[in-house]
Amino acid sequence: MREHLIGIKELPDVAGKLAAGRIYVVMHDAEAGLEMACKTLAVACASGRAEWVAEDPSSYLKVSAELGREVAECLRRGDLRIFRMKAGGHRGMRLRLLNELDFIRVEPGSLIVVEGVDRFVEGDAAETWEEDVAAWQRWAERTRCAVLWMSPRRAGQSGHEADFLRMAHRFSGIARLRKSGGEVRWDIYYWFASEGLMADKSFRLGHDGCGNWRVDEREALRAEATEPAVDEDDVFILRAALPGGRSAPGWRVFDTDEQMKAALSSARAPTVILNYGAGSPMEALARFIFELRRSIGPQVKIAVKEEGGRLRHSHEQLLLSVGANLVIPSETGFSRMQSLVKSIQGQVFARALPSDFDAALSGVVAVEQMGYLAPESFVGAVSEVMERSQPLEVNNALVRLFLTPGLDMLEALRYCTMKRPGDLCTADDESVYVFLFACEEQDISTTLDRLFRLPVSVLFTAESRFLSAEDVAGALAEFDQRASGTRYEDYTAALANRSSAEVQLPAGSFPSSAKNRTRAPFTAVPHALRLRATHV
């Protein structure tokens, strides 16, 4: 029989499941409790049936529109039925409710949510109260239904924690959903599920405004990191990550990701070393790291060894954002590698993971466009890349290169060859704008020399660099304003129709520092002074 889930995302499994044949109690503040109950019912109806005994059958109309639609859809499909609970807490009502659940033929394995159970506690002796709870327990076991009792804290009344805790041997879980100091918390007195027991835990919750409660990401990751693990010193490594293919005494070596994944199925806190080589599929590596971090938890240490290739800065940021602790440079020998692995022992991954892998990937993968764009398209494309890369703190650069007097703009653009998605350029009437995706400040000059097939000092007389997000945005706004007032030429068609290999330059036309490639003729000042204005 399947377990139902509490309507709070990212709860650890042992704290978020409602087992068949068990009774659970949630004491709550009114508003938060209603939303949690509605979400729990909607989740249950996604793959089963649910019954809701409510004080106000129309209360689901008071939650967010999106959550209300989810509940309404459950009602429309017939997966959910709502019944009104009559006022009063006398013993006859408590037992009659059980008979009525039998009368309506509750489907075995359903989720039963009962609101207002604080009324159950009122007015009767302790002996009578215990007998009725025992009757509910037997009913849950017989029907294999998961029962969730919701006990609100009403204005001007004391709570009933003590009354429920006296019956702790009858309940499989008692928790409290409370507001305190401007935040909402999920306090667990104790909670049983098939995975085991959790007791005396508290999680801070966030709310997305659509009826979805979610455990704070860092608290969820730390939930299982309270005790040292027996496999803390174990090291799992892919053979391809070993420098020079050497042996690794004491380490567990695997030939494939799948072999390693199977061996890690019951792991808690080992060190895992993966490899990155030339041509390694970045998305597959990042996804594997993300899945390991999600499935094992915050205590596993994940390192990536560059072996036969070097990671781009943007790719390194991606791997660290999806769960890696460390990137080991390609030139690192085995002895140094052992020291680095030892240095991360005991670490707990505390960064918040993205909600899903696609969200992480979209933050660092640039737009598919590259090369020359018309001025209006350039502004939009660069703005998009900046927005998508900022959450993972990827550093980009915008460079304005002022054209050498006498050199035709089209000729200058023909010497620019961009092959990496996200690297973009455009031009106004006196300069070329080059946007370098995921480029550090110290790499700008080298990158520009790589992009242009003639020396940059020959093609341009000066440059301005915009490095911070604010400066890039300001430069784009200024360029866009000028472009709207002056219609700058669009070279897209001209660049597409003209080959850059039409004419060869005679040997020795440029100093030895120039690249030895096929070039077209040009008119330029060969030894112009190069200036730089840097904006940080």
In angstroms, the CA 509 to CA 520 distance is: 12
pLDDT of residue 141: 92
Range of lowest pLDDT (60-74, 95-109, 117-131, 471-485): 117-131
When pLDDT is averaged across residues 226-253 and rounded to a whole number, the result is 82
pLDDT of residue 9: 84
Query: What pLDDT band is residue 317 in, cutting at 50, 70 and 90?
Result: confident
Concatenating the DSSP letter of every residue in 398-441 gives EEEEEEPTT--HHHHHHTB---STT-EEEE-SSEEEEEETT--G
pLDDT of residue 439: 84
In angstroms, the CA 86 to CA 88 distance is: 7
In angstroms, the CA 214 to CA 219 distance is: 11
pLDDT of residue 41: 93
Q: What is the pLDDT of residues 438-484, one digit of tens each?
A: 788 888 999 999 999 899 999 999 999 999 999 999 999 999 999 98
- Report yes or no: 123 and 156 within 8 Å, Cβ to Cβ: no
Top-confidence range, 52-56, 87-91, 461-465: 461-465
- Is 25 a residue whose pLDDT tops 90? yes
In angstroms, the CA 89 to CA 29 distance is: 20
pLDDT of residue 477: 94
Considering only CA atoms, which of 344, 316, 317 is closest in space to residue 330? 316
Concatenating the DSSP letter of every residue in 193-233 gives ETTEEEEEEEEEEEE-SSS-EEE-HHHHHHTT-SS--TTTT
pLDDT of residue 513: 36
Query: What pLDDT band is residue 30 in, cutting at 50, 70 and 90?
Result: low
In angstroms, the CA 344 to CA 342 distance is: 6
Sheet with 252-254: list strands edge to edge.
Answer: 252-254, 235-238, 271-276, 301-306, 326-328
Cα-flanking dihedrals φ and ψ of residue 317, to 5°? -60, -35
pLDDT of residue 169: 83
pLDDT of residue 358: 66
- Report yes or no: 403 and 434 within 8 Å, Cβ to Cβ: no
Percent of all residues in the chain with a pLDDT value above 90, rounded to a whole number? 35
- Is 366 a residue whose pLDDT tops 60? no
- Is 147 a residue whose pLDDT tops 90? yes
Comparing 166 with 377, which gets the higher pLDDT?
Answer: 377
Q: Write down the pTM of the prediction.
A: 0.45
∠ CA 276-282-287, nearest 5°, is 105
Percent of all residues in the chain with a pLDDT value above 70, rounded to a whole number? 81
| Residue whose tokens read 């649910």 | 50
When pLDDT is averaged across residues 71-79 and rounded to a whole number, the result is 93
pLDDT of residue 510: 40
pLDDT of residue 228: 57
pLDDT of residue 198: 83
> What Cα–Cα distance (Å) separates residue 50 from each residue in 53, 73, 208, 298?
10, 13, 24, 35
- Is 350 a residue whose pLDDT tops 80? no
- Is 248 a residue whose pLDDT tops 60? yes
- Is 67 a residue whose pLDDT tops 80? yes
When pLDDT is averaged across residues 61-69 and rounded to a whole number, the result is 86
When pLDDT is averaged across residues 515-523 and rounded to a whole number, the result is 33
Query: What pLDDT band is residue 356 in, cutting at 50, 70 and 90?
Result: low
When pLDDT is averaged across residues 396-403 and rounded to a whole number, the result is 94
When pLDDT is averaged across residues 93-104 and rounded to a whole number, the result is 86
When pLDDT is averaged across residues 267-283 and rounded to a whole number, the result is 86
| Identity at 468, one-letter amino acid code | S
pLDDT of residue 267: 84
Range of lowest pLDDT (269-273, 367-371, 525-529): 525-529
- Is 496 a residue whose pLDDT tops 50? yes
- Is 275 a residue whose pLDDT tops 90? yes
In angstroms, the CA 418 to CA 405 distance is: 24
Say what angle helices 313-321 and 282-296 make with each other, to 10 degrees. Answer: 20
Query: What pLDDT band is residue 211 in, cutting at 50, 70 and 90?
Result: low
Burial class (CB in 10 A: 0-12, 13-18, 19+), 377: middle
pLDDT of residue 516: 35
